[in-house]
Amino acid sequence: MDPILIELYRHRFSGVADEMGVTLRRTSYSPNIKERLDFSCAVFDGAGGLVAQAAHIPVHLGAMPASVAAALAAFPVWRPGDVVALNDPYEGGTHLPDVTMISPVFLDDAGEAPRFFVASRAHHADVGGMTPGSLPLSTELYQEGLIIPPVKLYRAGVRNDDLLRMLLRNVRTPEERRGDLAAQRAAHTVGERRLRELVARHGAEEVLAYAAHLQAYSERLVRAAVAAWPDGAYAFEDALVLDDDGPAERVPIRVCARIEGDAVTFDFTGTAGAVDRSFNAVLGITQSACYYVVRCLAGEDVPVNAGCFAPVTVTAPEGCLVNARPPAAVAGGNVETSQRIVDVALGALAQALPGRIPAASQGTMNNLTIGGLRADGTPYAYYETIGGGMGAAPDADGLSGVHVHMTNTLNTPVEALEMTFPFRITRYALRRGSGGRGRHTGGDGLVRAYEFLAPATVTMLSERRDAGPWGLAGGAAGLPGRNVLRRADGSEETLPSKFTRRLLPGDRLRIETPGGGGHGAPEDGPPPRT
């Protein structure tokens, strides 16, 4: 292994993934993909090992290998031009709106088997199911939309039009889906072309060898980082709150982080069982959340590939909230439970690394889906997430009005949204004073207010509405969020953290997102000027 070529191949492989991402972003149709960057592109080796990933949101970190594994299990034989699509959370997916596509890359010299795979995952704005936007308050998977097990959408370059028709007939916005699927395939075409060019320039032997060396390199870097952490077992507990139906129910998530030498295990034994709501997470999500935490601590310049994850073990009892089994509903597991998994993993490691771990951030994505009919009668489905306060770190205040941890999606411009959808934004502002006080102050949440012009079905999946994100080292908690509905008749109602409502013209919805926790007792002294 040549220490110089390693660095060159880091550039080469991540360049391929990046370029796939540029193509997908710029040619897609879902606001989720093109405006909010809720997608990832990746390169895999022939065995399904992740070689490089361009991820804009951490919840996709290391989650695509399960997709490639599922596709490989489903299809032993691949041909050039094949494209497999899937979204089944129990067969390589996460939640149904995330549609993953996988294409084999064959080299001219090689025989039967693909030497690489390229893959993309994108959050489609709607895949059917009980509410527009496909993030419902469901009780089983079947309500959440069209389930796509690994299927070949293209065989040897020929699209399976029957399958596509079937798929499009089951979603609310078929033309958008058609465009997004085309954009994903275009990204694969670019990825495949670039990999073949690499091989043409440097030879298959070298390119394949360095795909493997790069993984070993990342593994060394992560092991070196973990080896510097104090050995021990560190436990922490936090909870989700289910309040949409009857009295609020607390659903605990427990973790024990065991640091042993250069490896770490996150053991979720003691976590509540799966719930009859959509907040169950498949193990892939739990892994992503733990990988995210380790990556934050190991340094972001470690190339993302299978090697990064080798020193990290994630275990959870079968059938529990964070390792759900079919047919548990999972729509919100990806977006909400994943944030709480990060919180407990950080809470555990704060005991081992007190000088490095921040207070809790907003701990939710405030997922709002809105659907109905436009004035011309065409259906629409809109999804957005709202930023909030970031937890204060031992050395810095938390940022205000940003997405935290497992997501980093952009907002949709008000001027883009109002040109397309029959609702308006009447306020979008920082929620001043919502960050927890401390030697370093938590970031402030946001306020976003909506006015509806036509009847709409609105679903909210949010968290941290009963109690705010915790502070650390004596810092105060941030303010909890609030969801407030003001009907056209002037009546006002504070809605639970999770709800589906039919709203009418003139109704107004106001979302206030949580502030981040503070760090350090305020009496330790005034916060340094920043």
Partner 1 sequence: MAKKTEERRQRVGIDVGGTFTDFVWLDGGRLTVHKGPTTPRDQSRAIVDGLDALGVAGDAAVVHGTTVATNALLERRGARTALLTTEGFADVLAIGRQNRPHLYRLSLRRPPPLVPAAGRFEAPERLDAHGRTLIPLDETAVERVAERLAAEGIESLAVVFLFSFRNPAHERRAAEIIRARCPGVMLSLSHEILPEYREYERTATTVINAYVQPLVARYLARLDEALGARAAAQGRPPGTRRVMQSNGGAIGLRQAAAQAARLVLSGPAGGVVGAFALAKQAMNTETPEIITFDMGGTSTDVALCPGAMPHTSESVIAGLPLRLPTTDIHTVGAGGGSIAHVDAGGVLRVGPESAGADPGPVCYGRGGERPTVTDANLVLGRLHPDRFLGGSDAVRLDAAAARDALARLGRRLGLSPEAAALGVLRVANATMERALRRVSVERGHDPRAHTLVPFGGAGPLHACDLADALGIRRVLVPPNPGVLSALGLLMADVVYDASHAVLREAAALVEDPGPLREAALALGASVREVLRKDGFAEIALEVRLDLRYAGQSYELDVPLGTPLSGASVARAVAAFHAAHEKRYGHARADAPVEVVTLRVRGAASVAPPDLPAEPPADADASVARLDASPVWFGGEAPTPTPGYDRDRLRHGHRFEGPAVVFQYDTTLVVPPGRSVRVDARRNLWVER
Site for partner 1 in 172-191 (CB under 8 A): 175-176, 179, 182, 185-186, 189-190
Q: How long is the chain?
A: 530
Beta bridge mates, 313: 265
Q: Which one of 9-17, 46-54, 250-258, 269-277 is the stretch in contact with partner 1 (CB under 8 A)?
A: 9-17
Q: Which is nearer to partner 1, 42 or 390 (CB)?
A: 390
Report residue 327: phi and psi, to 5°. -100, 40
Measured from the CB of residue 2, what is the shortest distance to partner 1 in angstroms? 9
Residue 385 tokens, joined = 């997430």
Site for partner 1 in 373-392 (CB under 8 A): 386-387, 390
- Specify whether the backbone of 168 is left (phi greater than 0), alpha (psi in -120 to 50) or beta: alpha
Which member of 410, 454, 484, 521 binds partner 1 (CB under 8 A)? 410
Q: Which one of 72-80, 144-152, 270-278, 397-405 is the stretch in contact with partner 1 (CB under 8 A)?
A: 397-405
Q: Compute the distance between CA of residue 96 and CA of residue 84 in angstroms, rounded to an integer.
A: 15
SS (H, E, C) 82-115: CEEEECCCCCCCCCCCEEEEEEEECCCCCCCCCC
Does 296 contact partner 1 by CB under 8 A?
yes
SS (H, E, C) 235-246: EEEEEEEECCCC
Measured from the CB of residue 346, what is the shortest distance to partner 1 in angstroms? 8
Which member of 79, 155, 159, 356 binds partner 1 (CB under 8 A)? 356
- Identify whether the C-beta of residue 269 lies closer than 8 Å to the C-beta of residue 294: no
Q: Which is nearer to partner 1, 290 or 321 (CB)?
A: 290
Place of tokens 């959050």: 123
Q: Which is nearer to partner 1, 139 or 351 (CB)?
A: 351
Which member of 155, 408, 454, 522 binds partner 1 (CB under 8 A)? 408
Which member of 211, 289, 446, 472 binds partner 1 (CB under 8 A)? 446
Q: Compute the distance between CA of residue 404 and CA of residue 399 in angstroms, rounded to an integer.
A: 9
Measured from the CB of residue 397, what is the shortest distance to partner 1 in angstroms? 8
Longest CA–CA span in the chain (Å) reads 72
Does 393 contact partner 1 by CB under 8 A?
yes
Measured from the CB of residue 181, what is the shortest distance to partner 1 in angstroms? 12
Does 153 contact partner 1 by CB under 8 A?
no
Q: Compute the distance between CA of residue 362 and CA of residue 254 in angstroms, rounded to an integer.
A: 19
Site for partner 1 in 264-293 (CB under 8 A): 292
Q: Which one of 91-99, 109-117, 203-211, 414-422 is the stretch in contact with partner 1 (CB under 8 A)?
A: 414-422
- 3-class secondary structure, 137: coil
Q: Which one of 3-11, 71-79, 159-167, 243-251 is the stretch in contact with partner 1 (CB under 8 A)?
A: 3-11
Which member of 108, 376, 415, 523 binds partner 1 (CB under 8 A)? 415
CA distances to 89, 206, 291 from 213, rounded to whole Å, are 31, 10, 20
Residue 414 tokens, joined = 């008000």
Does 137 contact partner 1 by CB under 8 A?
no
Does 414 contact partner 1 by CB under 8 A?
yes
Does 436 contact partner 1 by CB under 8 A?
no
Site for partner 1 in 491-530 (CB under 8 A): 530
Report residue 475: phi and psi, to 5°. -75, 150
Does 71 contact partner 1 by CB under 8 A?
no
Measured from the CB of residue 332, what is the shortest distance to partner 1 in angstroms? 20
Number of residues that bind partner 1 (CB under 8 A): 84
Q: Which is nearer to partner 1, 165 or 325 (CB)?
A: 165
- Identify whether the C-beta of residue 400 lies closer than 8 Å to the C-beta of residue 444: yes
Does 51 contact partner 1 by CB under 8 A?
no
Strand-strand pairing, 312-315 and 263-267: parallel
Sheet containing strand 492-495, strands side by side: 423-431, 445-452, 508-512, 482-486, 492-495
User: Could you say which DSSP state residue 336 is in?
Assistant: I
Does 7 contact partner 1 by CB under 8 A?
yes
